[in-house]
Copies of this chain bind each other. A is one copy, B any other.
Amino acid sequence: MKASELAVSLGGTLEGDDVELFACGGLEEARPGDLSFCKDPKHVKLVASTKASAVLLPREWTDSAPCSVIRVDDPNHACMRAAEIFAPPAPVRAPAVHPSAVVDPSVKLGENVHVGPFTVIEKGAVIGDGAVIEAQVFIGEGCVVGPDSHIYPQVTLREGTKLGRGVILHCGVRLGGDGYGYNTTFENGLPKIEKIPQLGVVELGDFVEIGSNTTIDRARIGRTYIGPHTKIDNLVQIGHNVKVAGYSGIIAQAGVAGSSRIGSGCLIWAQAGISGHINIADGVQVGPQAGVPQSLDGSVKYVIGTPGESMKEFGARLLLPKMVAKLKAEVKELKARLDGQG
């Protein structure tokens, strides 16, 4: 898009060449063809060295730039708008079933459903109005996909999985796999490991979003349940029979072991681990890489470290080496004084 056209769209003023622009990029990583932006005069050096073809600057900016300039009221906001203009339209998923898809005759397809190539939908499944099921998805027997849900390529829903309205599942999500459950007895000194049947299902509330390659196991009995509006990032593990009350977030590579309950409005940060059979109270946050072995009743709002403790306790622990070094010096001094008395 021509810089002049873009300037009009953004309500700004172009100075310099009417260059062709293709994408947005930060000042440091921008390439020719990019539009960058700067709001703060303290980044004047970054502006001076940018490789962008044009830069959005505040109207009152006084320094020069090595490229075309579009002056606007709010460069950050204008850049967001520009990104929307540059972004190619999202792929159209027309309401139709691709002829290659294998959809059992008993499946109930709602109105305006899209089913992509090589997708398999097994018997008894129910797909709500307006749902988009992209290519190479597997939907097992008796699954329910709520209206307006969007399932990206290569997701698998094992039999009986239920999704609410407006659920988004990114590529490679696995719902309803067997939980890790075995009965181990010992015979002749070697463990005998028997699989415990995993008879339950996975249910997701309305507007849940699950990131790429995340796994959520079916319940042993009953339901593994993710409440409405909960947002789960990539590569997260949710064990069997876990319950999340809703409106919570679970960030990448975190794990929640079997039968634990996460309250409403919780935030479990990246790579954190929640042990099995415990409760995390409403609104509690578990910091990155924290390990939580016991229930959290909400008296501490943010835990960090393994085992998880308050920021104050964690901070005190970090200071231990300095405290011990100081004590060591003090003890040495006391000893010298005592020795001097001798």
Contact A154 B156 (CB under 8 A): yes
Say which residue of B83, B172, B291, B330 sits within 8 Å of A213 (CB atoms).
B172
- Inside 8 A of A195's CB, which chain B residues have their CB? 209
Q: Is A46 an interface residue (CB 8 A)?
A: no
Kindly state the interface size class of chain A when it binds its partner.
Answer: 35 or more
Say which residue of B90, B141, B190, B289 sits within 8 Å of A91 (CB atoms).
B141
Expressed in whole angstroms, the Cα–Cα distance for A172 and B341 within the complex equals 74
Expressed in whole angstroms, the Cα–Cα distance for A338 and B337 within the complex equals 8
Q: When A and B form their complex, which 8 residue pairs have the shortest distance between CB atoms, in order from nearest?
A: A174-B212, A83-B221, A87-B199, A177-B212, A156-B171, A138-B153, A212-B215, A215-B234
Binding site for B on A (CB under 8 A): 23-26, 29, 34, 79-80, 83-84, 86-88, 90-91, 98, 100, 102, 116-118, 120, 122, 134-136, 138, 140-142, 152-154, 156, 158-160, 168, 170-172, 174, 177-178, 180, 182, 190-191, 193, 195, 197, 199-200, 207, 209, 211-213, 215, 217, 221-223, 225, 229, 231, 233-235, 237, 239, 243, 247, 249, 251-253, 255, 257, 264-265, 270-271, 273, 275, 288-289, 291, 293, 305-307, 313, 316-318, 320-321, 323-324, 327-328, 330-331, 334-335, 337-338, 341
